[in-house]
Amino acid sequence: MPSETIFPAFFFSHGSTGMIARRTAPAAYWEEVGRQALAQGVECVIIMGAHWETPDETIRVSGNPAPAMQPVAWVPTEQYVNFDLNPDVKLAEEVRGMLDTAGFEVALEPDFEQIHDTFMILKWMFPGGRSLPHCVVSHNARWDPHFHLRMGAALRPLRNKALIIGSGGAVHNLYRNAWFSGVFYRDSLAQTAPPEQWAIDFGEAFSNVVTQNSGPALRRGIARLMAHPQFRDAQGTDDHYMAALFVAGAAGALEDEGHANYAGAENYELQSMRNSQFQFGDWPQAPHVTPVRAGMWEVTA
Ligand SMILES: [Fe+2]
């Protein structure tokens, strides 16, 4: 692989656990990203989720060669358990070292357990049943945007071999979801009423910041959205937003200035949870932008 190769980074809104069970537009998009990763020579995946947070100063990096999968609400175990996560402890050590060099307190976590926010993505990306080698980094529960931008920036050099992925939510407020169809019918996709206006508005604002900025302006824009008047409507807590900052850090260097960022597939769940997907930078070979195909909009069981 030529040293100048830089792979795109991604922010995925993973939605509810119901997204494991049904092939939605985002799931089909994740499959497409996985296909491109394999076709274009990506070697590994580095992923920050929304459900592994550390309350102290120390970042944790997954250092368990055989992590258990934590049980998932609403989804039968057989729909996700037969998947080879292929954790890469050597990659985790490399990530730990780079974060350490950048001045973070950071440690490998030997007792790490895989949570649905990361294995849902890997499972859809790699339908062959085995992930590319990957490691997971925790986020920090004080939710300082600049801390997470710096984490991503520290790992940007790994984009020469890795896909850097954030798994969170552009619009993700569990307090504002309409839970009835999900809880009573296990159907998170039944839109019995239109999304509320704040979900539409903040989703548009997020998408506009991604697609109309690059380089350091992207970093500033994603951080500034935390002061948007509808941020607290769209994010009941900050945990699903940190991975967006992490990716903006990894894809918002001066060298990224002028490189396009793209909105991908999306769907709504539970009325107002907007599961939008984003690509930062181009694939090195065609197709440079991950295709969003018409068939992605057909949900299958
Ligand atoms: Fe989540």
Euclidean distance between CA atoms 126 and 252, whole angstroms: 27
CA–centroid distance, residue 1 to ligand 1 (Å): 34
Give the model confidence (pLDDT) of 62-103 as tens digits. Answer: 999 999 999 998 888 988 889 999 999 999 999 999 999 999
**Residue written as tokens 């984003």?**
278
Please list the rounded mean pLDDT of every run of 10 residues in the chain (301 residues).
80 96 95 98 98 95 97 88 96 98 98 96 97 98 97 98 98 94 91 95 98 98 98 97 98 98 96 97 97 80 65
- Which sign does the torsion angle of CA 55, 61, 67, 72 carry? positive
CA–centroid distance, residue 172 to ligand 1 (Å): 8
CA–centroid distance, residue 277 to ligand 1 (Å): 14
Domains and CATH numbers, the chain: 9-290 (3.40.830.10)
CA–centroid distance, residue 14 to ligand 1 (Å): 6
Give the model confidence (pLDDT) of 156-201 as tens digits. Answer: 999 999 999 999 999 999 999 999 998 998 999 999 999 999 999 9
Euclidean distance between CA atoms 171 and 202, whole angstroms: 7
Euclidean distance between CA atoms 218 and 48, whole angstroms: 18
CA–centroid distance, residue 270 to ligand 1 (Å): 13
Amino acid at 160: N
CA–centroid distance, residue 16 to ligand 1 (Å): 6
What per-residue confidence (pLDDT) applies to 250?
Answer: 98
CA–centroid distance, residue 275 to ligand 1 (Å): 11
What per-residue confidence (pLDDT) applies to 178?
Answer: 92
3-class DSSP state of 132: coil
CA–centroid distance, residue 182 to ligand 1 (Å): 15
What per-residue confidence (pLDDT) applies to 1?
Answer: 41
On whether the pTM is more than 0.95, the answer is yes
CA–centroid distance, residue 215 to ligand 1 (Å): 27
Q: Is 88 exposed, middle or buried (0-12, 13-18, 19+ CB in 10 A)?
A: buried
What per-residue confidence (pLDDT) applies to 108?
Answer: 98
CA–centroid distance, residue 28 to ligand 1 (Å): 18
